Amino acid sequence: MKKLVVFIILIMSAISTFAVKYHTVGSNAEFCVYKFDGSNFLILCFKDTEGNKMPENALVKFKLNDGSVIKLEGFNGSKSSTTTNYVNWDFGSSTERSREEHYAIFIISSEDIERLKIGVDKVAISTIPEVYFRSKWSGKD
């Protein structure tokens, strides 16, 4: 039994070593770098809100700590939807909320990946009808 537990721990450690690391930008947006067949991609996971919906053609701008700007154009590559029903038993009413999560894909150069290590001061994502803009978020430093 002890050997099985040790084996499971080793497998879990190996899996976590290869896990994708997301960088959160506010409560609705997370980024990660994905490499495939010699190309680099920046993947944006974005959760729609009432004021921010991800369009088919996506645009993101990063203002770095040195004042320079990285602008990337991409596309909304995948979307998943979830619907939750809420029932208020006291009043006999129910409401339904839908939530969409998008994965936008941006081609990014190795040089721009290195530039991101300078640090990101501000992020703007082309959502509609309002731009998703963040200059403060948890874990920014």
* pLDDT for the residue 97: 66
On the question of pLDDT at 139 being above 90, the answer is no
> 76 near 54, Cβ under 8 Å?
yes
How far apart are alpha carbons 140 and 11 in whole angstroms? 32
How far apart are alpha carbons 13 and 42 in whole angstroms? 25
* pLDDT band, very low/low/confident/very high, at 17 (cuts 50, 70, 90): very low
* pLDDT for the residue 84: 67
Q: What is the pTM of this model?
A: 0.72
Q: What residues have CB less than 8 Å from 39, skipping those under 6 apart?
A: 107
> 92 near 34, Cβ under 8 Å?
no
